[in-house]
Amino acid sequence: MELARVTSKGQITIPVEIRKKLDLKEGDKVLFIEEDGRIIFANSSYVAFKDLQKEMDGEAARVRIIDENDVLNLVRKPLIFQCS
């Protein structure tokens, strides 16, 4: 368990071990999530990435991307734009 003190301006210093575990760097944004009566503190980039993963779940199968070759073929295809 780590301890931090709140300043008169509502600021805290995040202990170094917590910063390492959350992979927080200077300028990163953090989230405070209320869940089941608890406050969860998280790296916002990590949460955004996890949300994206959840949204993309099953999309590769849906568009029939099975392996690395399918990805490479998709990337190599020229993009064709139609103007209407």
Cβ atoms of 28 and 14 closer than 8 Å:
no
Across the range 27-37, mean pLDDT stands at 91
Across the range 32-58, mean pLDDT stands at 83
Mean pLDDT of the chain: 84
pTM for the model stands at 0.52
3-state secondary structure 29-52: CEEEEEECCEEEEEEHHHHHHHHH
As a whole number of angstroms, the distance between CA 14 and CA 72 comes to 42
Across the range 11-30, mean pLDDT stands at 92
Res 59: pLDDT: 77
